[in-house]
């Protein structure tokens, strides 16, 4: 968690950090590096809050080779510290402005001081993978003779490859056979997960990982990827509750404000989505044809996406979920129109598909929610505020809300109004300006969910607030209409 929060631009409140810590504990993480107690008052408060929560996991604070850092950790009442002191000449010279002997002395003093005060000490020789191997081993030896409990030599700037990771840790394991070693791999070359797995294969017992691979620069090894690889590729009986991985990833993304890339393994939006006709046809008869990971293992469901690559089987599966049952001829016509839209470069949302299907099947387009009135006030010395008047199946709902900006205020007002009848959640929000310029039409795509059902909808308007509201209402209409009563007539 400490390294994850060091993601540029991320800063969490103590309460948010506690929420994440509780979830990490729930999924079965052994050690939680809650923060850097000496960093600020807020960090101290956060680390303390987590340490006092009585979680099963060992709670750890980061500390540099500075007495004040160890004192701060003690004050925060953590179980352990991750004590990081540079071991590479480049860090010793340019960061610490010391020499090797002084660093060995500092290591001895800090480890002894922390041990004397009852802390578990995990020693981290910083920038270990760019250090002189002989000196690194000497430093580790000093830390162990001073009482360090575990040693995690970090790949601080992410320069290892899987082969070198294996050699590096095999060598250390041979020199220190009775020491618990850990791996802390950074993702600068996109190899953090591969390197972590190589380290574990070399006999390392502990892996530092972060949710969604967050962390400094390109981040750290992603917990979800390491865990699922260990479980499915290496058949390791791992105690992490994998079915909670997705909700954990969403929680961290929401609290940090760092979105998950769509093609991210395990937790990305597209990781279990299928559009191609060939793929969806095969998956519908046997999921393992195009899925290496059963989605339910990581708490997800398979999703079919409609687009120009979609085939009849995939489109039918989505339509059936919407409660629509077109005949064969109707399905053929729907597919033609979907492909035509896709060929024009448009993203085909669920709301588009439904509108096409309804017009082909010839059923009246049912829209339970109609926008009757919307007022948004925004400016320099005013809190963005929106009031909305909706007609929901003949019932008038009036609500007002504030937000960080006009779009947020309008969406909040609509959500508040609709929440009185339906628990609908906004999962994602994307804006694209179709052309450049301030008078461009903007396209807003939203992803909404109600219970297990997730749908996408789009709004297009030259006013960004109206485009957002249109997308939101179109999506809500899709989620709220029960189509099972519609039976198709032949086309
Ligand atoms: Zn790091």
pLDDT digits (tens, 9 = 90+) for 433-468: 665 667 777 788 898 888 778 888 888 788 889 889
Q: What angle is formed at CA 442 by the lines to CA 440 and CA 443, rounded to 5 degrees?
A: 150
Q: To which H or E segment does residue 197 belong?
A: helix 192-201
Residue 188 Cα to ligand 1 midpoint, Å, equals 11
Tell me what pLDDT residue 199 has: 98
In the chain, residues under CATH classification 3.20.20.70 are 2-256
Residue 187 Cα to ligand 1 midpoint, Å, equals 10
Residue 129 Cα to ligand 1 midpoint, Å, equals 13
Average pLDDT, the chain: 91
pLDDT tens profile 298-319: 999 888 888 788 888 888 988 8
Residues 391 and 369: their CA atoms lie apart, in Å, by: 6
Residue 364 has pLDDT above 70, yes or no: no
**Cβ-defined contacts of 458-466 (< 8 Å, 24+):** 458/347, 458/349, 458/351, 458/352, 460/434, 464/406, 464/407, 464/431, 465/374, 465/376, 465/406, 465/407, 465/410, 466/374
Angle between helices 133-145 and 100-116 (to 10 degrees): 30
CATH of the structural domain 273-361, one choice from 3.40.50, 1.10.390, 1.10.238, 3.30.479: 1.10.238
Q: 126 - beta bridge partners?
A: 86
* Tokens coding 369: 């929610």
pLDDT tens profile 64-83: 999 999 999 999 999 999 99
CATH number of 369-480: 3.30.160.270
pLDDT-derived band at 490 (thresholds 50, 70, 90) equals very low
Sheet of strand 385-392: strand arrangement? 369-377, 385-392, 395-402
Residue 220 Cα to ligand 1 midpoint, Å, equals 7
In the chain, residues under CATH classification 1.10.238 are 273-361
Residue with tokens 């600020």: 40
What SS3 state is found at 419? helix
Residue 134 Cα to ligand 1 midpoint, Å, equals 23
Specify whether the CB–CB gap between 304 and 287 falls below 8 A.
no
Residue 124 Cα to ligand 1 midpoint, Å, equals 10
CATH number of 2-256: 3.20.20.70
Tell me what pLDDT residue 482 has: 55
Q: How far apart are the first and last CA of the chain?
A: 57
Mean pLDDT for 407-424 is 89
Of 405, 404, 397, 403, the C-alpha closest to 473 is 397
Residue 78 Cα to ligand 1 midpoint, Å, equals 20
Mean pLDDT for 18-25 is 97
In the chain, residues under CATH classification 3.30.160.270 are 369-480
User: Which range among 47-51, 255-259, 362-366 shows the weakest confidence by mean pLDDT?
Assistant: 362-366
Sign of CA dihedral 240, 245, 249, 251: negative
Percent of the chain beyond pLDDT 70? 96
What SS3 state is found at 215? coil
Tell me what pLDDT residue 453 has: 80
Which is more confidently placed, 285 or 433?
A: 285
Angle between helices 312-321 and 350-361 (to 10 degrees): 90
Q: What is the pTM of this model?
A: 0.78
Rank 187-196, 254-263, 396-405 by mean pLDDT and report only the highest.
187-196
């Amino acid at each position: 968690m400490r390294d994850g929060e060091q993601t540029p631009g991320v800063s969490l409140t103590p309460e948010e950090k506690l929420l994440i810590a509780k979830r990490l504990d729930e999924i079965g993480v052994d050690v939680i590096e809650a923060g850097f107690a000496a960093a600020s008052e807020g960090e101290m408060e956060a680390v303390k809050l987590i340490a006092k929560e009585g979680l099963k996991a060992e709670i750890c604070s980061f500390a540099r080779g500075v007495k004040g850092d160890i004192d701060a950790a003690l004050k925060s009442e953590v179980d352990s510290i991750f004590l990081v002191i540079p071991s590479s000449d480049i860090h010793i010279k340019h960061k610490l402005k010391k020499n090797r002997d002084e660093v060995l002395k500092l290591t001895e003093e800090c480890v002894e001081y922390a041990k004397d005060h009852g802390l578990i000490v995990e020693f981290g020789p910083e920038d270990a993978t760019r250090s002189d191997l002989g000196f690194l081993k000497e430093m580790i030896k000093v830390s162990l003779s001073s009482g360090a409990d575990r040693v995690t030599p970090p790949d601080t700037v992410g320069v290892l490859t899987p082969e070198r990771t294996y050699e590096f840790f095999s060598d250390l394991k041979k020199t220190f056979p009775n020491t618990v070693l850990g791996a802390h791999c950074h993702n600068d070359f996109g190899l953090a997960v591969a390197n972590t797995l190589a380290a574990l294969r070399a006999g390392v017992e502990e892996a530092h990982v972060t949710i969604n691979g967050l962390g400094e620069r390109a981040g750290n090894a992603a917990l979800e990827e390491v865990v699922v690889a260990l479980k499915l590729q290496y058949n390791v009986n791992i105690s992490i509750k994998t079915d909670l991985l997705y909700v954990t990833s969403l929680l961290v993304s929401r609290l940090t404000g760092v979105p998950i890339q769509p093609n991210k393994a395990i937790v990305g939006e597209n990781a279990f989505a299928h559009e191609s006709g060939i793929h969806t046809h095969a998956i519908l008869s046997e999921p393992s044809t195009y899925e290496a990971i059963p989605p339910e293992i990581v708490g997800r469901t398979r999703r079919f996406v409609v687009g120009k690559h979609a085939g009849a089987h995939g489109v039918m599966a989505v339509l059936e979920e919407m409660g629509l049952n077109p005949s064969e001829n109707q399905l053929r016509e729907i597919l033609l129109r979907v492909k035509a839209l896709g060929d024009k470069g448009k993203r085909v949302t669920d709301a588009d598909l439904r509108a096409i299907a309804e017009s082909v099947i010839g059923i009246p387009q049912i829209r339970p929610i109609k926008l009757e009135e919307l007022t948004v006030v925004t400016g320099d010395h005013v809190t963005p505020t929106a009031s909305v008047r909706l007609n929901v199946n003949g019932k008038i709902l009036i609500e007002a809300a504030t937000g960080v900006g006009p779009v947020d205020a309008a969406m909040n007002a609509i959500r508040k109004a609709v929440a009185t009848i339906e628990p609908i959640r906004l999962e994602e929000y994307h804006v694209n300006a179709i052309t450049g310029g301030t008078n461009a039409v903007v396209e807003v795509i939203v992803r909404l969910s109600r219970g297990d059902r997730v749908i996408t909808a789009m709004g297009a308007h030259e006013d960004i607030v109206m485009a957002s509201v249109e997308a939101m209402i179109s999506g809500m209409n899709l989620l709220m209409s029960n189509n099972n009563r519609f039976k198709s007539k032949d086309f």
